[in-house]
Amino acid sequence: MEEGPGVVNRGVRVVTIDVRLTETAKQSTDFIRVKPGSDGYLALGVARHLVEKGYVDREFIARYTQGFEELVKHLEGYTLDRVEEVTGVPKRRVAEFAEELATSKPFAILIGYGLQRRFGGGEVVRSIALLPALLGMHRGFFYSNASGLSINLAAVDGSALWSARRVVSMEKVSEEVYRGGYKLVYIHLHNPAATLPNAARLVEGLRRDDVFVVVHETHWSDTAKLADVVLPAPTFYEKLDAVFSYSHSVVYLNKPAIDPLGEALGEYQLMCEIAKRVASKSYAELCPDPYELLKLAFGEEVFRGLVEEGAVELEPPPRDVYQTPSGKIEFYSSLALEEGLPPLPTPPEGDRASEGELILITSAHSHYIHTQFEDVYGPIHSELHISPQDAEQLGIKTGDLAEVCNERGSVLLRVRVDPGLVRGVPRHSLALNGKRISVLMDDGVDVYGGAVLNSTRVKVRRVQNKLPESPTQHPRQNLSTTPLS
């Protein structure tokens, strides 16, 4: 959207719905600001208006969906007046947006991952996902195509070789390690000391004398600095891999440009070397040539295309096939009912903070993926973005030093007053006192098993503490370890 004529200049109408004025929102045709966590209410208000005004495609609904009549009754509670009260979006704008959808087919609804990372996030996503079906579209809602690609992931991710005896939610790993739930922690492709919620507990746990920590890494990450042993990993320049995306259907063969530097071993090679030393011979034999694994994962035809062309676009599944018990789009989900969940989308009214608290949101940075690329662009800027209304109430201004805290910890951040933010919802980055903001993040789990990072509640106050020195940045080339052999 930022380069060339952009989709907006080519006649495509783009509407962004968010709690803050993002760069995408600035490039959009229109921007609808909502209260945090209230997106599901907005979606059901739109759905009710579509039903009431006769915009729904009843022929499509009868043929390809299940539970429409139950949904219609369920929508009675989502009046435009109530939706305006909950979301902060004027009821006139809710109705206009519903009618824009109805008269703009085909359309696409794209949601970011952060939308569901809150209490009730699963219900929010369900509520939004039903809108295209009401208007007679097989597709139109996009979250991720990871489960919609014709790839035999079990052949390459190891899940075909084992069954989990104990599963711990990623959000609860910090607490589990802190309590001594593991005697050995092996970490690869991840920087949990910087990114897991309630990270201070994880850091304390990894420092326990009775926990042995092995980290397989390309950089001196926050987590690598806590390891007993660091095993050097190759970058993508140095290893064979097959790369597919959550957002499109093209798979690429990543061939190494150079041999691995130093003692670096790729993830697969390292696992196989360990297996040869600790597992039975029969298990060690389950480490075939990587090309054979790719053939199992993609099939002969796609594999041949990858080897010969380097990239292949995978065939999409039939548009009218759905991975539900009924094989249809389920407004009313019997599977949800069996799991003790609401059979119809029932989103929360939104995140609410107590007196003196704010809802802290996390958001992506244009130059970074979590903590990646700090070696390229430098440390993530230590800023707390806050609305003008909150800044005035707290007596702080741009450039001030603020302490952001809750029962899990505290961090220091420079304040930037941001008119693009809704009141009561600051956003953040790396802290100035050497801590990652993840020490504050809520480690609760939504009923669907997801993280609730964007339901984190904090207090903010202006401070005049002297800032600590910046932590040392370790170059990758200093990584070393004892050879495996």
Q: What is the CATH number of the domain that holds 380?
A: 2.40.40.20
The pLDDT value recorded for residue 383 is 85
Q: Tell me whether residue 3 is in a domain.
A: no
Q: Tell me whether residue 26 is in a domain.
A: no
* CATH number, domain with residue 59: 3.40.228.10
Q: Tell me whether residue 250 is in a domain.
A: yes
Q: Tell me whether residue 1 is in a domain.
A: no
- Do 332 and 366 share a domain, yes or no? no
- Do 127 and 230 share a domain, yes or no? no
- Do 173 and 302 share a domain, yes or no? yes
- Do 158 and 286 share a domain, yes or no? yes
Q: Tell me whether residue 482 is in a domain.
A: no
Q: At which of 274, 304, 338 does a domain end?
A: 338
**Structural domain count, the chain:** 3
Q: At what angle do helices 91-102 and 39-52 cross, to 10 degrees?
A: 60
Q: What pTM was computed for the model? A: 0.86
Residues of the chain with pLDDT under 50: 4-5, 470-485
Q: Tell me whether residue 102 is in a domain.
A: yes
- Do 377 and 243 share a domain, yes or no? no
The pLDDT value recorded for residue 282 is 64
* CATH number, domain with residue 251: 3.40.50.740
What is the separation, in whole angstroms, between the first and last Cα of the chain?
51
- Do 87 and 183 share a domain, yes or no? no
- Do 105 and 240 share a domain, yes or no? no
- Do 368 and 334 share a domain, yes or no? no
The pLDDT value recorded for residue 4 is 42
- Do 134 and 165 share a domain, yes or no? no
The pLDDT value recorded for residue 238 is 96
Q: Tell me whether residue 11 is in a domain.
A: no
Q: Tell me whether residue 12 is in a domain.
A: no
Please give the structure tokens belonging to residue 342.
Answer: 């609401």
Please give the structure tokens belonging to residue 16.
Answer: 């962004």
- C-alpha pair distances (Å), 460 with each of 196, 307, 386: 22, 55, 10
- Do 305 and 180 share a domain, yes or no? yes
- Do 384 and 433 share a domain, yes or no? yes
- Do 92 and 160 share a domain, yes or no? no
The domain of 71 spans 34-145+318-338
